[in-house]
Amino acid sequence: MVSSVTISAELTYARIRGLMGYFSEASIRYGVPLSLLLAIASRESRMGLALSTDGTGDHGNGIGIMQIDKRHHPDFTTSHNPLDHQSNIAYGAQYLASVIEEFNGNTRRAVAAYNGGPSKVRSAVWAGLSPDSVTTGGNYAADVLGRRDLISQLMGLSKAVSWSAYLLPVCAVAFLSYNYINPQKL
């Protein structure tokens, strides 16, 4: 599993490069969780840090931050510059949304399909295998979902802790502080 220091550095790089707005925009437009989109970009290209100077990776087969595979998405990859980060992130989010829908919201299978392809993932599942068995490294979905959780924590997006959990203690401290500073005279 990748460390929080590594993920933090990648997020900082994405902020410095002005990419976070593209991720947020694509997340909202396609209904894909921001942390999941960022996690895929982290695994695929380290948020762009692992790309060649021409914007490619995977021996020239992956295009841009989201590593859109030119062998499987030729319409997009032949018509877009690998350094057009906004289009690349939007296309990756659109594709991710489509596989999430195709797998009826099963995020693990959808993430594995982003990497290994929907038909390979379906075949693996039907054969009783893990969706990850057909992915790069045999751990793509598990790794991406771990990155997603880490990114959620680092960015304060965690579902485990909602703002309402902080509301009562903050209100209590505010009330007690106000009464201590401004005591009521009887």
Residues assigned a catalytic role? 44
Look at residues 106, 89, 104, 109 and name the one whose alpha carbon lies nearest to residue 27.
89
Distances (CA, A) of 175 to 3, 164, 165: 40, 17, 17
Distance CA(48)–CA(31), nearest Å, equals: 22
Look at residues 17, 68, 23, 26 and name the one whose alpha carbon lies nearest to residue 45.
68
User: Which string of DSSP letters, residue by residue, matches 13-72?
Assistant: HHHHTT-HHHHHHHHHHHT--HHHHHHHHHHHHGGGTTS-TTSEEGGGTEETTTTEETTT
Look at residues 123, 121, 140 and name the one whose alpha carbon lies nearest to residue 131.
121
